[in-house]
Amino acid sequence: MNEPGNVPDIDQRIAALPVAVDLTEDAVILEVDLAGTGEQIWSHLTVPELLATWSPIVPERPLNQVGPVLSRETPEADPVAVDVLATAGDHALSHRWGDDVLEWLIDEARLTLLMKLADPQLAPTYLAGWQVCLAVLDARLEGLDQERIVGRDALDHGWEQLRDRYAQELGLPDQPEV
Sketch out the chain's domains with CATH numbers.
Answer: 10-169 (3.30.530.20)
DSSP at 119: S
pLDDT attached to residue 1: 44
Q: pTM above 0.95? A: no
pLDDT attached to residue 17: 94
Alpha-carbon separation of residue 31 from 4, 93, 107, 127, 132 (angstroms): 28, 15, 11, 11, 14
pLDDT attached to residue 3: 45
pLDDT in tens, 124-160: 999 999 999 999 999 999 999 999 999 999 999 999 9
CA 37, chain centre distance (Å)? 17
pLDDT in tens, 24-79: 888 999 999 999 999 999 999 999 999 999 999 999 999 999 999 999 998 899 99
Q: How far, in Å, CA of 34 to CA of 138, rounded?
A: 5
Q: How far, in Å, CA of 31 to CA of 76, rounded?
A: 31
Alpha-carbon separation of residue 117 from 26, 67, 143, 147, 156 (angstroms): 8, 20, 32, 27, 25
pLDDT attached to residue 7: 53
Q: Per-residue b/e over 76-89, b at no fewer than 16 CB within 10 Å?
A: eeeebebbbeebee
pLDDT in tens, 96-109: 999 999 999 999 99
